[in-house]
Chain A
Amino acid sequence: MRLRLVWQSGLFELFDSLRSRRALVVLVIYLAASLLGMNGTISALGKIESQLAGVLAVETPADGRSGVISKTLWQSDHFKRMVRRSVGNSLVYDDICGKHPAELLYAWLAFMFVPLFTILVASNRIADDVRSGAVRYMLTRITRLEWTLGKFFGNALLLAAGILLGSVAAWCVAAFRLAGADIVMLFPGMLAWGLKAWAYSLAWLGLALGVSHIARSGTRATSIGVFALVAWSAASASLAHFGERFSVLARLFPSSVENMLWRSSFAPVACGTAWLLLLGLLYLSFGYSLFSRRDVR
Chain B
Amino acid sequence: MNDAIVTRSLVKKYRGGRALDGFSLSVPRGATMGMVGSNGAGKTTWMMTVAGFVLPDSGEISILGLGPFDASVHGGRVSILPQDSELPLEAKPGELLVRYGRLQGLSPLAARREAESLIEAFNLTSHARKPVRALSHGMRKRVMVAQAFIGSPDVVLLDEPLSGLDPIEASRMRSFVLARRGKETIVISSHHLDDIEKMCTHVALMERGRLVSTSPLSALTSGSGRITITLRERPKDLAEIDSLFPGLRTTWNEGTGELVAEFPPMTQPEHVNAVILPALVRCGIVSVTSGRTLEQAYLGR
Contacts and interface: CB of A to CB of B under 8 A. Distances in A.
Contacts of A139: 51-53, 71
B80 A136 contact: yes
Given A16-B91, A297-B48, A137 B100 contact: yes
Interface in A134-157: 134, 136-144, 146
B52 to A, nearest CB: 7
A16 B52 contact: no
Interface in B76-107: 76, 78-80, 82, 84-91, 99-100, 102-104
Given A8-B102, A136-B82, A143-B71, A20 B53 contact: no
A295 B88 contact: no
What size tier do the contact residues of chain B reach? Answer: 20 to 34
Per DSSP, are chain B's interface residues mostly helix, strand or loop, or mixed?
loop
A143 B85 contact: no
Interface string B229-254: 00000000000000000000000000
A192 B195 CA distance: 62
Interface residues of A, number: 29
Given A8-B102, A134-B88, A137-B147, A143 B72 contact: yes
Contacts of B279: none
Contact of B75 (A129, A141, A297): A141
Contacts of B85: 132-134, 136-137
B86 A141 contact: no
B103 A9 contact: yes
Highest count of chain A CB atoms <10 Å: which of B51, B75, B80, B104:
B75
B88 A140 contact: no
Contacts of B91: 15-16, 19
A2 interface: yes
Interface in A40-94: none
A56 B208 CA distance: 84
Contacts of A29: none
A294 B54 CA distance: 8
Contacts of A296: 53-54
Given A5-B103, A16-B91, A133-B84, A140 B52 contact: yes
Contacts of B131: 19
Listed residue (A2, A15, A20, A295) with the most chain B CB atoms within 10 angstroms of its CB: A295
B167 to A, nearest CB: 26
A137 B89 CA distance: 13
Contacts of B110: none
B54 A134 contact: no
Given A134-B86, A136-B80, A296-B53, A141 B104 contact: yes
B90 A136 contact: no
Contacts of A12: 99
A293 interface: yes
B82 A20 contact: no
Given A134-B87, A136-B80, A141 B52 contact: no
A19 B96 CA distance: 14
Interface in B110-164: 131, 144, 147
A196 to B, nearest CB: 31
Interface string A163-202: 0000000000000000000000000000000000000000
Q: Which 7 A-B pairs have the closest CB atoms?
A: A133-B85, A19-B90, A141-B103, A132-B86, A143-B71, A136-B82, A296-B53
17 contacts: A5-B75, A132-B85, A136-B53, A136-B80, A137-B82, A137-B100, A139-B51, A140-B52, A140-B71, A141-B103, A141-B104, A144-B71, A293-B55, A294-B55, A295-B53, A295-B54, A297-B54
